[in-house]
Structure 1
């Protein structure tokens, strides 16, 4: 039986079996190109996989043009998502903490412009050929050097495997990958604000003038606009790309090129420089939405880095929200947060303004899903502002009365201490109105539904949204614990939203959830202003405390923090046990607090600090010149403690030891180390060492050879066999 005679259903089963058997749940398009060459039918099927999701750099665009030009542009029908990763100039350690100079900025803008222009030119050739299907384009830019200097986020690496929702099929795979990479990337040198001037302080990338004579796009010197591309229906800028793209560049792309854009997702980080913040704040929504007539879905998630933005904290500004309310009347889905104050979106509907001016001329005829971050939904241990929250919830009810198609509205907020969300859901009759927060579990109080809030939502549901029954109201606790809220800056609340995959791209959402569970902060005490760091340091030195308080050591730590603590202690031991790296106390000083202490009086008399231990060990390694750690038998952390049990080996092949000449004898022994870690540095080190085993094997112990396994060099050299010897 020939291939052509097989039923279509059987062919499809064979194709799917090939994909599953060969590649499992891995990204299959990386190895399917050869299968597409078997026949025309095989080509059509397997190219639908290979072209479904594409990741391209600017160096790939020439080949991409060749395989999609002319009649081959039909391949773009298969493309659902295309990610353009623009590779910028590299830099070295001499400038990694300095802002980019003007020449570098111009060069990077030229690289970015050229890559975007070339891609748009390729895509424009396929205009009108996709028969109603469109491409979602993701844009990002990075320097290969970004991953090797101050801010080492493994999610920037080329080999990061989680790109789309399809890559998230196995939660265990995601967790293991992130736990492993987080432990590998952990550094024990705290970042300072000055460290990040290049990576996070450089102005956002811009599209340079297309009339530039130094870069030729078509007719030299002629006034040109960006190529018009109607097959791009979605544009994404995700949060794991730290190089921002300017509002002006987005404006040009939307107005000049993406004439069929339906969806915009912008997850770029909040700018560091105050001037950039003001530019985004004053012009983003008014400029981006002006003339974007085809846009129906807008998702903006602007997060901040608490270390970088501490000199320019977020201030309440309802202006952007008010602009958004006026410009969003044609949207079907809208999500804004968390560093953008969305209260302004509801401002015209606040009770006092409605009473004075009446209803505004706002009407959202097609808006179905709405998610807004709202700083008024906050509390502290001292309580919350019931009146402010009531005003917001009443304004939300009034605004909902102007949204006849509304299915779900969620207002939410999270900071280091509190998380809360409000949800209206019209998926059932009666609809539901829900309040959830961590307040009850944290402080013992919670919101109370006011009469005005209930009446407002009852009227909206039954009069304006045509439900036959009044809403059901409920108050439920959030199960966020204190450490999760602190580590995620409250962003973990997003996982509890019904509209969470609207608020964040699915991969970004999974990353935020992981950060909430495992910790996010690479910032330590050195992110404080210098005068505060100095004062804190002096207080510790003057107090001369020799131990960490019990309460401090029992603070629950995230898994990522525990892994970083283990990596710190392993780094210390690796240096201490290295004949080449251990130059004495100065070799490990950067890993320890200045007033740290060491305890092992029986085996290391006279050693009072971890630096003293390194000095003593360096002296021993002058004799045991090939000393090394064979393996770490156990390594675990709990709260502020780390335990390492390890096996070491070496031979007396160096200098004489206390008058004993080089014997050449070899030894293997075990030891245990208990560390206390505070603020990313070692506070104390307690050592338990099988000294007798080592010294007898090396011939250093003042004893005679014996058949007793407790004193027999051969038995001590093979402890596993000795423990089985019942004699």
Structure 2
């Protein structure tokens, strides 16, 4: 347009020119980033999107400061650090400890380097730091169908369409003509799920610097090498302005997990920065690995540690937003809440409960849970959205309380099975509605007809009114389950 008739483009109002350019930045067609160099008017539009989220391999940390001059730092909203591990050596799959000795030092060195760089940045722009640990060999050997470093977002077509690589043939790692016909070796599972512990010797001689620029820390499910809880305070203590935490750990029946869970519950209750207002915690299901042998010889399962119930109950008193999936059970967490508690700031709350299943014998217990939730919400004066849900293969359901922008309250049951809103439930939530300008409570019941193939499908079709897992993680769940 500009090369043929520059006068025509210049004659358009500035607001209209901006509306034309902005969709191009979101489409991200090949070469879109170079459009920032076309002219001075275009530069701020495309640079804003170009710098917004940066995926940074640890091998390029040395170049990072020169890549982002000080005058461009305010444009960056999200830094995704991919900490790269060395590729497996020959016949590594039969050697359990081939990569594990250098795991802690490698991760510690990369985190210390990014903290050192970001410690020079000013606070106030709202910066997210996402941490990932990835080994290229993981997706080249046994685990070609898993996602370790992707940022795809959920859309129906791409998440549900599996595309097998029929040319891939590696019988030694269980693959025949694009199909996985053998479970990964025990040593391979050990490599994949081995926990990360920061190097105490490195940190003792050269501690992490304080970083005030970071306001959100993200650790997604694609980091299957869970960072042990004993190392997390090293990060949190150096992030005094942290407001949001997104953490999606994998559950394992490994022997170290028991102590790790106890320590994590203490961190949640007592050791997070006072600035934290929002937590989204999603304990990943291991249903994809149920047929595989775990590295400690015991079958993995999804479960919660009793100490988490009390820890999250106490922490909720300080938060504005809390979503915890599969780490606690709503019924147990509600039991940990004291009769005198008031939640002055809590605006959204999402919890899972194993009670929410289509067993007719549990209707009375489910009813008691929903009524108890109503009693607690009456002590949450700022509550706008509460969700109690459950989901897995072949089942999904959610109870949702929402207050819209006009202060109209509603309760909704949405699921693959019907749950009648009894007079007792309606009365409990009508009491909540009576505290709002509009006393009328809207009651809805919606049925899910789609096939639920995994817990990822359950989340997708429940259309929950708040985020319980990162969108890219949800895409991975659904895609991996299909494949």
With over 3 angstroms needed to count, the CA separation of the structure-2 counterparts of 1:279 and 1:152, relative to structure 1, is farther
Alignment of 1:123-202 (within 5 A): 123-128=118-123, 132-153=124-145, 155-156=147-148, 160=150, 162-163=151-152, 172=157, 174-175=158-159, 179-180=162-163, 186-192=178-184, 194-202=186-194
The residue that corresponds to 1:502 in the other structure is: 467
The residue that corresponds to 2:433 in the other structure is: 461
Is 1:301–2:278 an aligned residue pair?
Answer: no
1:58 is displaced (CA, Å) by: 1.4
The residue that corresponds to 1:632 in the other structure is: none
Q: C-alpha offsets along residues 278-328 of structure 1, whole Å, 9 cap, x if unaligned?
A: 234323243045242111110011112232566243456443122111012
The residue that corresponds to 2:311 in the other structure is: 323
Is 1:234–2:216 an aligned residue pair?
Answer: yes
* Structure 2 residue matching 1:269: 3-state secondary structure: coil
The residue that corresponds to 1:266 in the other structure is: 247
User: Does structure 1 retain, via aligned residues, the 8 Å contact 2:346–2:382?
Assistant: yes
User: Does structure 2 retain, via aligned residues, the 8 Å contact 1:299–1:336?
Assistant: yes
The residue that corresponds to 1:113 in the other structure is: 108
The residue that corresponds to 1:425 in the other structure is: 402
* Structure 2 residue matching 1:419: 3-state secondary structure: strand
From 316, 324, 332, the equivalent of 1:336 is: 324
Cα RMSD for the two superposed structures: 3.4
* Structure 1 residue matching 2:351: 3-state secondary structure: strand
Looking at structure 2, the residues matched to 312 and 398 of structure 1 have their Cα atoms a distance apart, in angstroms, of: 36
Looking at structure 2, the residues matched to 417 and 140 of structure 1 have their Cα atoms a distance apart, in angstroms, of: 31
From 430, 451, 473, the equivalent of 2:443 is: 473
* Structure 1 residue matching 2:299: 3-state secondary structure: coil
From 342, 349, 372, the equivalent of 2:351 is: 372
User: Does structure 2 retain, via aligned residues, the 8 Å contact 1:341–1:374?
Assistant: yes
Moved more, 263-272 or 314-323: 314-323
Looking at structure 1, the residues matched to 18 and 378 of structure 2 have their Cα atoms a distance apart, in angstroms, of: 53
Looking at structure 1, the residues matched to 226 and 29 of structure 2 have their Cα atoms a distance apart, in angstroms, of: 28
Instruction: Choose between structure 1 and 2 for higher RCO, CA contacts under 8 A separated by at least 6 residues.
Output: 2
From 215, 230, 253, the equivalent of 2:235 is: 253
Moved more, 41-50 or 278-287: 41-50
From 455, 458, 461, the equivalent of 1:493 is: 458
* Structure 2 residue matching 1:228: 3-state secondary structure: coil
User: Does structure 1 retain, via aligned residues, the 8 Å contact 2:392–2:458?
Assistant: no
Looking at structure 2, the residues matched to 418 and 435 of structure 1 have their Cα atoms a distance apart, in angstroms, of: 14
With over 3 angstroms needed to count, the CA separation of the structure-2 counterparts of 1:12 and 1:431, relative to structure 1, is closer
The residue that corresponds to 1:281 in the other structure is: 261
Q: Give 1 or 2 for the bigger CA radius of gyration.
A: 1
1:26 is displaced (CA, Å) by: 3.0
Is 1:435–2:413 an aligned residue pair?
Answer: yes
The residue that corresponds to 2:172 in the other structure is: none
1:8 is displaced (CA, Å) by: 9.9
The residue that corresponds to 1:100 in the other structure is: 97
Looking at structure 2, the residues matched to 376 and 394 of structure 1 have their Cα atoms a distance apart, in angstroms, of: 14
Report the TM-score, using the length of structure 1 for normalisation: 0.57
The residue that corresponds to 1:552 in the other structure is: none
The residue that corresponds to 1:553 in the other structure is: none
Looking at structure 2, the residues matched to 304 and 288 of structure 1 have their Cα atoms a distance apart, in angstroms, of: 21
User: Does structure 2 retain, via aligned residues, the 8 Å contact 1:110–1:207?
Assistant: yes
The residue that corresponds to 1:49 in the other structure is: 49
In structure 1, runs of 5+ residues without a counterpart are 213-220, 350-358, 440-445, 521-559, 561-727
Q: C-alpha offsets along residues 300-358 of structure 1, whole Å, 9 cap, x if unaligned?
A: 11112232566243456443122111012221211111354343321145xxxxxxxxx
1:211 is displaced (CA, Å) by: 4.5
How many residues are treated as equivalent by the alignment? 460
The residue that corresponds to 1:576 in the other structure is: none
1:140 is displaced (CA, Å) by: 0.2
With over 3 angstroms needed to count, the CA separation of the structure-2 counterparts of 1:496 and 1:6, relative to structure 1, is same
1:109 is displaced (CA, Å) by: 1.1
1:513 is displaced (CA, Å) by: 4.5
Looking at structure 1, the residues matched to 330 and 202 of structure 2 have their Cα atoms a distance apart, in angstroms, of: 36
With over 3 angstroms needed to count, the CA separation of the structure-2 counterparts of 1:251 and 1:459, relative to structure 1, is same
Q: C-alpha offsets along residues 506-560 of structure 1, whole Å, 9 cap, x if unaligned?
A: 2223334455xxx44xxxxxxxxxxxxxxxxxxxxxxxxxxxxxxxxxxxxxxx5
* Structure 2 residue matching 1:344: 3-state secondary structure: helix
Alignment of 1:579-618 (within 5 A): none
1:66 is displaced (CA, Å) by: 2.2
Looking at structure 2, the residues matched to 97 and 360 of structure 1 have their Cα atoms a distance apart, in angstroms, of: 56
The residue that corresponds to 2:419 in the other structure is: 447
In structure 2, runs of 5+ residues without a counterpart are 169-177
User: Does structure 2 retain, via aligned residues, the 8 Å contact 1:155–1:240?
Assistant: yes
Is 1:82–2:82 an aligned residue pair?
Answer: no
User: Does structure 1 retain, via aligned residues, the 8 Å contact 2:159–2:475?
Assistant: no
Looking at structure 1, the residues matched to 246 and 29 of structure 2 have their Cα atoms a distance apart, in angstroms, of: 24
With over 3 angstroms needed to count, the CA separation of the structure-2 counterparts of 1:401 and 1:66, relative to structure 1, is same
Looking at structure 1, the residues matched to 60 and 16 of structure 2 have their Cα atoms a distance apart, in angstroms, of: 31
Looking at structure 1, the residues matched to 96 and 145 of structure 2 have their Cα atoms a distance apart, in angstroms, of: 19
The residue that corresponds to 1:13 in the other structure is: 17
Looking at structure 2, the residues matched to 99 and 422 of structure 1 have their Cα atoms a distance apart, in angstroms, of: 45
User: Does structure 2 retain, via aligned residues, the 8 Å contact 1:36–1:47?
Assistant: yes
Looking at structure 1, the residues matched to 44 and 193 of structure 2 have their Cα atoms a distance apart, in angstroms, of: 47
User: Does structure 2 retain, via aligned residues, the 8 Å contact 1:251–1:288?
Assistant: no
* Structure 1 residue matching 2:28: 3-state secondary structure: coil
Q: C-alpha offsets along residues 470-511 of structure 1, whole Å, 9 cap, x if unaligned?
A: 423333322243xx3xx31x4422124454651111222333
1:40 is displaced (CA, Å) by: 6.4
Looking at structure 2, the residues matched to 182 and 365 of structure 1 have their Cα atoms a distance apart, in angstroms, of: 53
1:370 is displaced (CA, Å) by: 1.1
Report the TM-score, using the length of structure 2 for normalisation: 0.83
User: Does structure 1 retain, via aligned residues, the 8 Å contact 2:159–2:476?
Assistant: no
The residue that corresponds to 1:25 in the other structure is: 27
* Structure 2 residue matching 1:385: 3-state secondary structure: helix
User: Does structure 2 retain, via aligned residues, the 8 Å contact 1:302–1:340?
Assistant: no
